Amino acid sequence: MEVKLIEFSPHGDERGQLIALEELKEIPFNIRRVYYMYKTVPDAVRGKHAHRSLQQVLICTSGSCKVRLDDGKEKREVLLDKPWQGLYISNVLWREMYDFSPDAVLMVLASDYYDEADYIRNYDDFLSFVKEQTGEENGQ
């Protein structure tokens, strides 16, 4: 599964902490879009989709939330509760974000502009897409 937790280096001094993120440095792609979620209700589950080509880094800049990831074979759960950590998510991964704390702010850095055509919103379609891709990689 192409997922990794990236640790950012805070610039800390007596005034507090500051994290700077630059494309192709801390973030392993060109950043074309930033969005964030806040005031998420406690039992909400967001995401529930995969992307055909979009890559993202998720950062919980305040509070906490959990991310469930699924590549069609393996499932993983990651807790995001540190503003100095970013979760890199490659394309073709089903993701669900849940268990948001009341103060959670989940910021997402994305490799491309918003494009509904890049979304796979149905889980069975996602599994078919994974199969197609694996077939192509094996020369079928």
How far is residue 40's CA from residue 24's CA, in Å, rounded to a whole number?
A: 30
Contacts of 12 (CB under 8 A, 6+ apart): 18
* Residue closer to ligand TYD (CB basis): 18 or 117: 117
Phi, psi of 132 (to 5 degrees): -55, -45
Q: Is 33 in the site for ligand TYD (CB under 6 A)?
A: yes
How far is residue 48's CA from residue 15's CA, in Å, rounded to a whole number?
A: 39
Q: Is 52 in the site for ligand TYD (CB under 6 A)?
A: no
Q: Is 46 in the site for ligand TYD (CB under 6 A)?
A: yes
Show the binding pattern over residues 95-114: x = contacts ligand TYD (CB under 6 A), - = does not. Answer: -------------------x
Give the H/E segment covering residue 133. Answer: helix 123-137
Compute the least distance from the CB of residue 117 to ligand TYD, in Å: 13
Q: Is 35 in the site for ligand TYD (CB under 6 A)?
A: yes
Residues lying near ligand TYD in the complex (CB under 6 A): 33, 35, 46-47, 49, 114
